[in-house]
Amino acid sequence: MDTGRKVSGGKYHASRKRKKFEVQKQPNIVKLGRVKSKKSRGLGGNVKSILLTSDIANIIDKKTKKSTQAKIKNVLETPSNRFWARQNILVKGSIVETEKGKARITNRPGREGSVQAVLVE
């Protein structure tokens, strides 16, 4: 039988539509550029800081255990999607070129409102 059909051939109908909190939001893509962010309201009135563009990363050096801010120059590669590197889109796992050297983004910038990275040798 066809999927979504009864034995008699009639259709199954959804009991209701999705409620507002069940609907997914558009993915937030963070591009390389001057720092720009906005606030988003969540459930219970919670406020999230959403990053739209950024050119600054908080970089941690594993050897010295110190963190510093550095300017992002370019996105070198993105393992999850090779086309995003060409468009300079910042996502988790991206390798970026900074003033301190190559760094890998360790957080999800579109959700957290900042870019965290670890230096790569």
Tens digit of pLDDT for each residue in 58-77?
999 999 999 999 999 999 99
For residue 84, the 8-state DSSP code is H
- The letter for the amino acid at 69 is Q
What's the whole-number average pLDDT of the chain? 92
Q: What is the pTM of this model?
A: 0.80
Quick one: which H or E segment has residue 37? strand 36-41
Domain ranges of the chain: 30-119
pLDDT attached to residue 43:
86
Residue 1 confidence class, pLDDT cut points 50, 70, 90: low
- SS3 label, residue 10: coil
pLDDT digits (tens, 9 = 90+) for 63-113: 999 999 999 999 999 999 999 999 999 999 999 999 999 999 999 999 899
pLDDT attached to residue 3:
80
Alpha-carbon gap, residue 50 to 40, rounded angstroms: 7
For residue 3 the two structure tokens come to: 């999927």
Q: What percent of the chain has pLDDT over 90?
A: 74
- SS3 label, residue 32: strand
CATH topology of domain 30-119: 3.10.290
